[in-house]
Amino acid sequence: MQRKEMIQMVVVIILIVAGFYACQAWVFPPATPPAPINEPVNTPVNAPPERTEPPVVTGTAPAAGQPSAATEADKEHGFAPIPRSEARVYKLSNDRLTAVVSDRGAVLDSVSFVDAQGKVTFWRTPDDPTIEPYEALELLRPLEAAPAIAPFGLLMDRNDEARNTSRWELHLDDRAGSTQSLTFRFPPSTGFKHDRESDGTVIYKKITLHPGAYRLDISIEVHNYSDKVREKFVGVWGPVGITNDGMRSAGEYSRVALYGSTDSKRYTSLEDSPTMHSIAGSVKERNEELGKPERAWITNRDLDEIDAPDRFLIAHGLRTQYFLAFIAHDPDHRDARYSGAILPLKGPEGDTAAISMTGPALVLQPARDGKPDIGHASLRLYTGPRDKDELRGAWQVAPPADTDLSVQWTELATSGFFDLIASPLIWVLRHLTNLAGPGIAIILLTLLVRMALSPLSYRGQKAMAVYTQKMKIVKPKMDAIKEKYKDKTDRDSQMRMLTETREVMKEQNVGVFPIGGCLPMLIQLPIFIGLYRAFGAAFFLRQASFLWIHDLSLPDATIPGSTWIGEGWIGFLAHNGYLTVNILPMLWIVLSIVQFKMQPKPDDPQQAAMQKQMGCIFPLMGLMFYGFASGFAFYFIISSVYSIAESKLIKRNLIRQGVVPPLKKPGEAVKEGDKPQYHASK
């Protein structure tokens, strides 16, 4: 590329970016920035699931706003709903997180990544890439859209709303050791006329935080003091919304379900539902297919179209690009048929959902000699990084009694179909990061991948070079055949022209399409997708800095300053609606064009015109990648530099082998001995 052309290209790129800013400022009306994270949104919530087979949930609709008033009869049995502001809260903390437990329903009020000493373990990523993190990430938090729903809220019967908004009695506070727990009782033993519910039952709920893991367990006991058999379906709300950290509109923000089977301990199957942005529409569409258009929730089996009776839920939750929150069944009772439900919600950060799990019925026998019959139900809640090591550690911190049961939760950190390629790349990138830092690790990974693919690249470029040289010989003969039959349009003449063309191409052993040159590129495509998934799932790159880049998981935002453009038709250039000046995509465009200019120019005017049109793809691809993570863009830059050097070395090697003629200065004649030796390509 000439120096003049290089300068012109850089000027054009600068003008394009400046043009977008000008269009935003003067042509398009200003968009409204997103609401603050804690701004109330009073959107009514809908009814939780009705009883199905197997049972999921029963209950009436939790109303928006303040909790509904309890009747005098309900108040006698402890049902006295209170607003969230009047609740007493208790903290459970370890070296990873802090969970705030409220006695209003004995539920999780919030989970934030602050350790027991008050040190932030994970910062919340601001929506604007130019702003550095300034507050701790609160992964689970109260939702104004669902004031009667919270993690660890019960789903048992038609008293759910009142029970989950009434005050529970703190029965036992054990926060002295490394394993901390709180045990609550409902109804409270004092302050009301009756210390049991109207059916003679008492509920104990124990919430436990394990040390060194992002895991909380909930154990529920139902005590039957009555003289009758009681049947209780114990369901629990899991994550009720989850903060979509990093990229609010990312396709990774979705609901996930992990299924198992009683036929085998090791059989698991992951169901990845549509993104939160579209799950409400998916629920509505699926309910219409089922003939239940009036309900706004859906069971897990209906949404995932699970018909096999032996399949049941292992885990049910929500995940973002880098974080995960799910409720899981008790692996010590792995044959229990758990099911769940999904309730779409709309909150300050956009669309989300409430996720539940329900176990089989607890059949409680009548009390004997004043001693109640007790039914047990236990579940686990993971709320932390979407990382296999952390998921494995959370599983093993309190492992199931069945030691043959394999670690199942790691399935929830997978990258889909291309996980077979992405997982080894993540493993290599993690160890390189620990060895040399994140930026150097990306450089080393790029070199390792490109060197591993060099044999394919060499074969592809060699095949294309041979094809080009052979076509230079074939083309005059083919042109002569076309000239011979240009005025003959009958079928026999056209068939003879085709036959002669095939014979000419057969003489030079050349096909119509250079498959040998394109096949290596197709083989590299799965690796490219695997790399994309690897960079998107590499948790250790989140908020990792390198050179001027303060977060390799965000656009580089080299020049401090951003403009809010929203999510309109040019929103793909922005990150969370904020347009920034990113140098890395522009640099990749420059390197790609340099690499394109190094390719040999075809003699055929039609092919030359086509090649020129192909050159326009690189600026378009650069614009498509403009809002991508800087780590991914950095990989492409190193890869482009490697490709330029590799192309020069391969070309020299092909000249030395006689596959292509040596490069000549302009005006220099080609000698007879400089003709390529095509047999060298065999």
* Phi, psi of 397, deg, nearest 5: -65, -30
User: Is 467 within the bounds of a domain?
Assistant: no
Q: How far apart are CA 564 and CA 6, in angstroms?
A: 31
* The predicted structure's pLDDT at residue 182: 96
Over the chain (682 residues), what is each successive 10-residue block's mean pLDDT? 51 56 48 40 34 36 40 78 92 95 94 94 89 91 86 90 93 90 94 87 95 95 93 92 80 84 63 78 89 88 85 89 92 82 80 90 90 93 92 90 78 73 83 89 88 78 72 75 76 80 71 55 72 80 87 84 73 77 85 74 60 66 77 85 83 73 57 48 40
Q: How far apart are CA 90 and CA 83, in angstroms?
A: 17
* The predicted structure's pLDDT at residue 31: 44
User: Is 112 within the bounds of a domain?
Assistant: yes
Inter-residue contact 63 to 143 (CB < 8 Å): no
Cα distances from 199 to residues 2, 56, 231, 366, 644, in angstroms, run: 87, 21, 11, 11, 78
Residue 403 CB burial class (10 angstroms; 0-12, 13-18, ≥19): exposed
Q: How far apart are CA 561 and CA 546, in angstroms?
A: 19
Q: What is the number of residues in the chain?
A: 682
Residue 590 three-state SS: helix
Pairing of strands 339-347, 323-329: unpaired
* Residue 428: CA count within 13 A, CB half-sphere: 17
Inter-residue contact 610 to 536 (CB < 8 Å): no
pTM for the structure as a whole: 0.78
Cα angle 282, 62, 169 (rounded to 5 degrees) comes to 130
Cα angle 286, 288, 290 (rounded to 5 degrees) comes to 75
Q: How far apart are CA 15 and CA 12, in angstroms?
A: 5
Q: How far apart are CA 41 and CA 44, in angstroms?
A: 9
Q: How far apart are CA 352 and CA 507, in angstroms?
A: 64
User: Is 298 within the bounds of a domain?
Assistant: yes
- Domain span holding position 93: 72-399+406-412
* The predicted structure's pLDDT at residue 644: 84
User: Is 158 within the bounds of a domain?
Assistant: yes
User: Is 371 within the bounds of a domain?
Assistant: yes
Find tokens 């056209």 and name the residue: 494
User: Is 169 within the bounds of a domain?
Assistant: yes
Pairing of strands 264-275, 89-93: unpaired
Inter-residue contact 101 to 216 (CB < 8 Å): no
Element (H, E) at 258: strand 254-261
Query: 429: closest CA among 446, 415, 410?
Result: 446
Neighbour-count burial for 251-287, b at 16+ CB within 10 Å, e otherwise: ebbbbbbbbbeeeeeeebebbebebbbebbebbeebb
Query: 462: closest CA among 660, 267, 291?
Result: 660
* The predicted structure's pLDDT at residue 378: 93
Residue type, 457: S
How distant is the alpha carbon of residue 146 from its chain centre? 24
Q: Where are the beta strands (DSSP E) in 187-253?
A: 201-209, 215-224, 230-232, 235-240
Query: What's the CATH number where 262 sits?
Result: 2.70.98.90
- Structural domain total, the chain: 1
The answer to whether the peptide bond before residue 54 is cis (omega within 30 degrees of 0) is yes
* The predicted structure's pLDDT at residue 72: 64
User: Is 197 within the bounds of a domain?
Assistant: yes
* The predicted structure's pLDDT at residue 634: 86
Neighbour-count burial for 410-441, b at 16+ CB within 10 Å, e otherwise: bbbbbbeebbebbbebbebbbebbeeeebbeb
Pairing of strands 154-155, 169-174: unpaired
* The predicted structure's pLDDT at residue 568: 65
Neighbour-count burial for 38-65, b at 16+ CB within 10 Å, e otherwise: eeeeeeebbebbbeeebbbbbbeebeee
- DSSP state, residue 26: I
User: Is 471 within the bounds of a domain?
Assistant: no
Taken in order 337, 46, 163, 364, the sign of the CA dihedral is negative
